[in-house]
Amino acid sequence: MKVLFATSELSPWVKTGGLGEVAGTLPAALRALGLDVRVLVPAYPEMLRSFPHAEEIARPHGLGGLLPTPTLRQALAPDGTPLLLVDYPPYFNRPGNPYLGPEGRDWLDNHLRFGLLSRVAAWLGSDANTLAWQAEIIHCNDWQTGLAPAYLRYLPGPRAKSLFTLHNLAFQGLFDHASLFELGLPDGAWHLDGVEYYGFLSFLKAGLQLADAITTVSPSYAREIQTDAEGMGLAGLLRHRSERLSGILNGIDTQAWNPATDPHLFRNYSARNLDAKADNKTGLQRQLGLQQRTDLPLLAVVSRLTEQKGLDLLLEVAPQVLKLPAQLAVLGTGTLALEQAWAALAQRHGGQCTVTVGFNEELAHRIEAGADIFVMPSRFEPCGLNQMYSLRYGTPPVVRATGGLADTVIDAADQKHGNGFVFGPATADALLQALQRATAAWRDPVRWRALQKRGMARDSSWAEAARQYVALYQRV
């Protein structure tokens, strides 16, 4: 089966969150099952730097509207996955975040940039394709490739089937009516059953409406987004398409996130020599300027600093958390208001609370290994990766019961299966209670060790998810 995995992010080169991680790991897992999967991604500067010899293989032209003719280049990822790079420097030769300009605002031509990505994906699944390789399935991801199913629908001739995976419903890719023409879509697409969404053109709605199948990244999130409370305006459409919607829980990169071999750690460890984890705590405390205390639990966060992630709730109770007593280490970037509020808190509590504003892969690994307890109080969470890293690193997570968090973390009240701490309401009080329970449990070493080991034993590999995707491709 020939599958094109179309994505706007690809770990380790270009990543702002979960989508980049999935794109960097799932295709290889699918290839291991015998599928011919290739990844389509824009030729960002990071990609061209890493693959300077990516050879030109096609120049898809006549794409319609104002869409330019890009150069399609081919490269081979170190894991053996073929990469197809959409090279059009005026659109993609921009350093940094793939969606935002230097002022932190969306690039004004994002509809054209990701319209082109979607259009080339559809081209690769159509008869216009001039390569020897033609995709049978186009696997789209989030709004950035949401128009591919629309192009496939409105193209003449035989073409590929499509699967649309939703990693986050909050980003919808809304543009004005004029973009319909600029993107080369026919007038007929401006319809309730097409790409129109309350007077806007929505990339996300197009994908959800027109793909042959829809998945999201956890079974719980698949259910939640069909409710008006959590459907972000799309619940009706998702209920309407519920027979084609399913949840497949993400795996993680178990090589990159393995405490026994992780090169970023101060000291490697595994479930068999968990005592070695302690050196990571001391190392982290030293690096972050925290007091070197072994008698306090170290709580940690690695996250986008946004309301979605509930980090305003944690901020609210942080003074009480520090009085438990506990230490707190936060790494993240996000809204200016939350970044500043967190930085101010850290300044008031030097030595006991630190906040690192920035994106730092190495520090993220060191925090997963060095912390005692990981905190993820998300208001909603399609899947979430960090709670799975935490489980694997023997750092039991405290999570809110939502989406993928609910599907991966089992509360310690279940003495046989518990691997973390789960709370219900998205309130500061409920979070504080869960943190109190977690820190109390940490003070009971025998109980804590058992909790850590159950988490570390969880299988978070891609194998099961990949099997489910293959079954779905076959059905489509």
Which region among 16-24, 66-74, 82-90, 203-211 touches ligand ADP (by CB under 6 A)?
Answer: 16-24
User: Given candidates 302, 428, 435, 465, which one binds ligand ADP under the rule CB under 6 A?
Assistant: 302
Question: Measured from the CB atom, is 209 or 460 closer to ligand ADP?
Answer: 460
User: Given candidates 13, 18, 70, 403, which one binds ligand ADP under the rule CB under 6 A?
Assistant: 18
CB of 361 to ligand ADP, least distance (A): 5
Question: Measured from the CB atom, is 210 or 249 closer to ligand ADP?
Answer: 249
Concatenating the DSSP letter of every residue in 60-104 gives -----TT---PEEEEEE-TTS-EEEEEE-HHHH---S-SSB-TTS
Question: Measured from the CB atom, is 388 or 472 closer to ligand ADP?
Answer: 388
- Could you tell me which residues come within 8 angstroms of residue 141 by beta carbon, excluding any fewer than 6 positions away? 5, 6, 7, 8, 19, 22, 23, 164, 165, 167
User: Given candidates 385, 406, 438, 472, which one binds ligand ADP under the rule CB under 6 A?
Assistant: 385
- Separation CA 149–CA 439 (nearest Å): 48
Question: Measured from the CB atom, is 184 or 332 closer to ligand ADP?
Answer: 332
- Could you tell me which residues come within 8 angstroms of residue 56 by beta carbon, excluding any fewer than 6 positions away? 71, 72, 73
Residue 225's φ and ψ, nearest 5 degrees, are -70, -10
Q: Which residue has the tokens 């004029």?
A: 178
Question: Measured from the CB atom, is 282 or 360 closer to ligand ADP?
Answer: 360
On whether the CB atoms of residues 277 and 259 are closer than 8 A, the answer is yes
- 254, with CB counted inside 10 A (0-12, 13-18, 19+), is middle
Binding mask 336-365 for ligand ADP (x = CB under 6 A): -----------------------xxx--x-
User: Given candidates 370, 384, 394, 403, which one binds ligand ADP under the rule CB under 6 A?
Assistant: 384
Question: Measured from the CB atom, is 87 or 368 closer to ligand ADP?
Answer: 368
Judged by CB under 6 A, how many residues of this single chain contact ligand ADP? 17
Does 264 sit near ligand ADP (CB under 6 A)?
A: no
Residues that bind ligand ADP (CB under 6 A): 17-18, 21, 302-304, 331-333, 359-361, 364, 383-386
